[in-house]
Structures are given as structure tokens and as C-alpha cells.
């Protein structure tokens, strides 16, 4: 990559970290020398980037400095297209509509060379999903977003009917199924419910006594699941 591209990528790497990151780490990510990183940091500072830190301690981009939003690499564009196309085929109408809107907006704002990449990309994620009731999907997503208790009527694999009061914290998309992960008050433990087997649900106007992010982390530990985080 040329120097301008490297400087933009260095800014992006700094923005991805909550805490100071060492020059050695940055040099490894950009495949350049540590000395080059020091020079590039000084260049960015001279151009107005508010970068705190120093050699040996690490560097951190301070709040208030923004990168141009469309400076994406070819791999990043293809990742956006692939992921958004996958969402556009979910059995979740609001998310499908949002994904279609995102694709249209993305194509509209990309520069000319990246427009061609967008038009020529043939990456697709193809899934066959079990049908689900859209009202139930919307109800579950609302309860999860608001961190409120949810009452569900559920039919298990054996065809037995039951009622549960749960604390919903995430929806997973597995092969052909949408799965609600929640804390079940009846079992006093985490339980999983297929959305295609939920017969009815109702959001209870009562916050459950935990944060969904905390429940999610505890669930990941209990299931021995490692989730890649968005930020370091």
C-alpha cells in the first residue's frame, strides 16, 4: 500500500482500540517497522490527529477525531456486502428491509472504483430458514432490546405445551433455525427456545434484574462459546 493508505489504516487501527496500543503491535498489523510507525504517528499528529501516548507506552486516538466513513478496503466492502446479503434473507422482516436499505445506501455513496467492485461481487450467503411468526419475532426483539421479561407459550420437540417466564438477551441464527437464548425463571438456568416453536409471547412491563450484556457473557461462559468482539 502507498503511504496515504497506510496512514488511513493506522488511524483505523488506533480507532479500533479502547486502550493504548504499542508501536510493535501496530507495526505487526501493518507489516512495517516500528520506526515507520513512530514516523507515521508524528505525521498524523502534525495533520491534526489527537493521538496521546509515547514510544514504549503505546498510543491512543482521543475522542473528537473522525475518519472519513467510506475509506474501506476491498475486503471490507466484500465483508459488508456478504454480511448484509445474509441478513437480507433472514426470516425477520424489519431486518430484511434494513439490510436492503443498507445495500442501496452503500452503493450510492461508494466512489467510482469501489462501485465497480460492488457491482461485480458474487459473494452470497445462502440459507433455508424455518418459517416463523413475524409478530413473535418483533415481540422477542422488543423485549430483548428493552431488557424486559417475556412470557411465552412454547411447544417442545415432543409436542408438549408449556408456559415460561424468561429474560431474553439474544437471538442466535443457526443453520435453518432462529434460537432465543434466555434465563428461565422456572428452571433457574439458561434455556434455548426455537422461535418456530413459540406459539405466543407477551412483553411484561417489568425489567429483569440484570443487564442483558451481563447475561450474554455468563451464557457464553456456560456454553463455552467465544464471541469475537467489535472493539478491543
Largest CA distance in the chain: 68
What's residue 6's pLDDT? Answer: 87
Q: What is d(CA 60, CA 171) in angstroms, rounded to the nearest whole number?
A: 34
Residues contacting residue 123 through CB under 8 Å, at least 6 positions apart = 78, 81, 82, 85
Q: Tell me the CA distances in angstroms from 40 to 5, 7, 36, 128, one per residue in order.
A: 11, 7, 6, 48
pLDDT > 70 in the chain, percent = 94
Residue 231 has pLDDT above 70, yes or no: no
Residue 198 DSSP SS3: strand
Q: What is d(CA 174, CA 137) in angstroms, rounded to the nearest whole number?
A: 15
Give per-residue pLDDT as tens, 31-62.
999 999 999 999 988 888 889 987 778 999 88
36: left (phi over 0), alpha (psi -120 to 50) or beta: alpha
Handedness of CA 177, 137, 102, 6 (dihedral sign): negative
Mean pLDDT confidence for 122-136:
92
Residue 204 in grid coordinates: 411484561
Residue 127 DSSP SS3: coil
What's residue 119's pLDDT? Answer: 87
Residue 12 has pLDDT above 50, yes or no: yes
| 155, 214 Cβ separation under 8 angstroms | no
Residue 120 has pLDDT above 70, yes or no: yes
pLDDT > 90 in the chain, percent = 61
Which DSSP string do the residues of 65-114 spell out, in sequence order? ----TT---HHHHHHHHHHHHHHTTSS-HHHHHHHHHHHHHHHHHS-HHH
4: left (phi over 0), alpha (psi -120 to 50) or beta: alpha
Residue 70 has pLDDT above 70, yes or no: no
pLDDT band at 67 (very low <50, low <70, confident <90, very high): low
What's residue 217's pLDDT? Answer: 94
Amino acid at each position: 500500500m502507498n503511504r496515504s493508505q497506510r496512514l488511513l489504516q493506522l488511524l483505523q487501527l488506533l480507532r479500533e482500540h479502547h486502550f493504548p496500543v504499542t508501536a510493535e503491535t501496530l507495526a505487526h498489523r501493518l507489516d512495517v517497522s516500528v520506526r515507520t510507525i513512530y514516523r507515521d504517528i508524528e505525521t498524523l499528529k502534525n495533520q491534526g490527529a489527537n493521538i496521546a501516548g509515547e514510544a514504549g507506552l503505546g498510543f491512543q486516538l482521543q475522542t473528537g477525531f473522525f475518519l472519513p466513513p467510506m475509506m474501506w478496503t476491498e475486503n471490507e466492502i466484500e465483508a459488508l456486502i456478504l454480511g448484509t446479503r445474509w441478513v437480507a434473507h433472514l426470516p425477520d422482516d424489519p431486518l430484511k428491509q434494513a439490510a436492503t436499505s443498507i445495500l442501496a445506501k452503500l452503493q450510492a455513496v461508494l466512489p467510482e472504483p469501489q462501485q465497480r467492485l460492488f457491482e461485480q461481487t458474487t459473494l452470497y450467503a445462502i440459507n433455508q430458514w424455518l418459517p416463523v411468526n413475524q409478530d413473535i419475532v418483533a415481540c422477542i426483539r422488543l423485549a430483548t432490546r428493552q431488557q424486559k421479561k417475556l412470557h411465552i407459550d412454547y411447544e417442545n420437540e415432543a409436542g408438549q405445551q408449556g408456559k415460561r417466564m424468561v429474560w431474553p438477551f439474544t437471538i442466535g441464527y443457526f443453520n435453518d433455525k432462529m434460537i432465543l437464548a434466555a434465563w428461565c425463571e422456572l428452571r433457574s438456568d439458561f434455556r434455548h427456545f426455537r422461535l418456530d416453536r413459540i406459539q405466543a409471547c407477551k412483553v411484561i412491563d417489568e425489567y429483569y434484574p440484570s443487564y442483558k450484556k451481563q447475561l450474554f457473557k455468563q451464557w457464553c461462559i456456560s456454553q463455552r462459546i467465544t464471541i469475537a468482539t467489535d472493539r478491543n
